[in-house]
Chains A and B, each alone.
Chain A
Amino acid sequence: SQQGEEDPQALSIQEGENATMNCSYKTSINNLQWYRQNSGRGLVHLILIRSNEREKHSGRLRVTLDTSKKSSSLLITASRAADTASYFCATVFSGNTPLVFGKGTRLSVIA
């Protein structure tokens, strides 16, 4: 399977703490994207990082990409209860292929 694998599967933290989620994949990619999903419905795009980039920031989000290790991490700083959701990494492999999603990390932020 070319599926990305998120780690951990579930994460529970206190409000104000940082949350780190990891994603590993198996083959070379064109880009990697992180999405958030609330209540099992539509996904919201967070960040896209290209294979020639190593780090991107967006507000309280920081994404890193290590193509040599075929891994990415999503860091949410100063977490809030509203950050409670499932977070998915999705990869676009070389070639005209669609996104391949992992099974996600379920983040719970406790107020």
Chain B
Amino acid sequence: GAGVSQSPSNKVTEKGKDVELRCDPISGHTALYWYRQSLGQGLEFLIYFQGNSAPDKSGLPSDRFSAERTGGSVSTLTIQRTQQEDSAVYLCASSQRGPHTDTQYFGPGTRLTVL
């Protein structure tokens, strides 16, 4: 079946502009995760959605970052007033249930470049 998809694959924006990144998880997966990976670094957790529960936002680096998940499926990560340090690859993953028991399936990522 179809895997996790993300769009756009690349995004170049100017400092101060807002951007929206989209993630389509695997159908039927209840958990969805956003991560950020800066050049040569490991993955930094941003936010986690599990079913209808309130999302775990503990990894969001500032209030310029927000995410929503509509209808328990598609998710959008929004970065307002982008800064150069926001440049990174943003990865989305989904799992059938939660992180305790399940493999996370990753999308190909969105490479964000803030000029």
Interface residues of A (CB under 8 A from B): 3, 30-31, 33, 35, 40-45, 48, 88, 90, 92, 96-104
Interface residues of B (CB under 8 A from A): 4, 33, 35, 37, 40-45, 48, 50, 56, 59, 89, 91, 93, 98-101, 103-109
Known contacts A31-B100, A40-B37, then 5 further A-B pairs from the complex at CB < 8 Å, ordered by chain A residue: A42-B4, A43-B43, A45-B103, A98-B45, A101-B43
Complex CA–CA separation, A96 to B33 (angstroms) = 13
29 A-B pairs in the complex with CB atoms less than 8 angstroms apart: A3-B42, A30-B100, A31-B100, A33-B104, A35-B106, A40-B89, A41-B108, A42-B4, A42-B91, A42-B107, A42-B108, A42-B109, A43-B91, A43-B106, A44-B106, A45-B104, A45-B106, A96-B50, A96-B99, A97-B99, A98-B45, A98-B48, A98-B59, A98-B99, A99-B43, A99-B45, A99-B99, A101-B35, A101-B44
Complex CA–CA separation, A43 to B105 (angstroms) = 8
Complex CA–CA separation, A21 to B4 (angstroms) = 28
Given contacts A42-B91, A42-B108, A98-B56, contact A48 B103 (CB under 8 A): yes
* List of B residues within 8 angstroms of A48 by Cβ: 103
* List of A residues within 8 angstroms of B103 by Cβ: 33, 45, 48
Complex CA–CA separation, A106 to B40 (angstroms) = 10
Query: A92 touching B89 by the CB < 8 A rule?
Result: no
